[in-house]
Structure 1
Amino acid sequence: MNGETQIQKAYESILGHDFEKAIEWFEKAIAEEPNNAAYHYKLSITFARSNKLFKAIEHASKALELVKDNEVYRYHLQVLHARELVEQAQKQLSAQSEHAERAIFLLKEAITLDPLAIEAYLILGEAFAFRKDYGRAYQTVMEAVRLEPHHEIAKQHAALYQQKMKL
């Protein structure tokens, strides 16, 4: 027996907004076909949508291990690693100024992995603003605005940092 039946059940669960059940079905499909990279990839996406980043990275890594030259799997894993770095940076910043430099490093690395990670640009702007480097904060959030011109928070932050530069 193959895992296609379980995959269909997983998709039905997703359509019903039951992501926990979808995870169970994807795991059953993987039990049937443990070397099916597509199943690991699909489970990874569901874990990521459920904010279970560690498990998402685990299955994305397995998918790429099984099919090393798959660019979709590689990109997905990069995006997950970028999210992980953003989360680490947020923790660093919440620990206050002594960790701002580490947070900036992590956020720049996240942007390298996923240049479309708007959240990374916004938090990086906050990190620069925390150091009172409003010029870099402004430039950083303007990059987010360039990527997503209708992003209201990015535009608000840009206006704030521009105002602070004038003070």
Structure 2
Amino acid sequence: MDGERELQKAYESILGSDFEKAIEWFEKAIALEPDYADYHYKLSITYARSNKLEKALNRAKHAVRLEPDNESYRFHLQYLYAREKVQQAEKLLNPINERLDMAIALLKEAIILDPLAIEAYLILGAAYASRQEYHQALSAVNEVLRLDPLHEIASQQITEYKHQLMLQDNIQANSYDQK
């Protein structure tokens, strides 16, 4: 293969924690063999690790176009789409909650794309809690504990959401008693 030397240099750069240099070497390998899907895939992984999601998505899409039957490439692309939806949802969440419905929809899509996306479940729980929908918040965060039983933040959120749910139930009971 023409890009084998460049690939080795990219790996050496990764081992040295120089991801920017690794990106350069992967790009050189791609320049030598533009139709070799694995180079695009590996560059996508490196971009993703460097928090360059848009570039990671572009390379992953290219790898899938070149080898549409490669399950690893398709899974990686799906994972990146899930990350993108989580990032979009985070941008929509704000104290005013004017775009909360859209954020929740994006988080649900991210979970469909990557059912192991713990961050998506945590944010979804927080979004529901901000709407005072504590049953849904608990459901989302319970999924985190199913995936990672020792997840500290999820445990804290569950305690908080249960407390809020209890307060909400007490307020509703008092309201009913006054009628």
C-alpha deviation, 1:159, in angstroms? 1.2
Partner residue, 1:75? 75
Per-residue Cα deviation, 1:67-92 (whole angstroms, up to 9, x for no partner): 01111110100000000000000000
Partner residue, 1:138? 138
Task: Give the paired residue count.
Answer: 167
Distance 1:95 1:18 in 2: 38
C-alpha deviation, 1:38, in angstroms? 0.3
TM-score, scaled relative to structure 2: 0.91
TM-score, scaled relative to structure 1: 0.98
Distance 1:95 1:54 in 2: 27
Question: 2:107 aligned with 1:107, yes or no?
Answer: yes
- Alignment root-mean-square deviation, CA: 0.9
C-alpha deviation, 1:94, in angstroms? 2.6
SS in 2 for 1:11: helix
SS in 2 for 1:28: helix
Partner residue, 1:97? 97
Distance 2:163 2:31 in 1: 57
Partner residue, 1:54? 54
Off by >6 Å, runs of 4+ in structure 1:
none
Distance 2:95 2:110 in 1: 19
- 1:118-157 map, 5 Å: 118-157=118-157
C-alpha deviation, 1:163, in angstroms? 1.2
Q: Could you tell me the percent identity over the aligned residues?
A: 62
Larger radius of gyration: 2
C-alpha deviation, 1:143, in angstroms? 0.3
C-alpha deviation, 1:164, in angstroms? 0.9
SS in 1 for 2:98: helix
Moved more, 94-103 or 109-118: 94-103
Distance 1:38 1:11 in 2: 14
C-alpha deviation, 1:23, in angstroms? 0.3
Distance 1:118 1:72 in 2: 21
Moved more, 152-161 or 87-96: 87-96
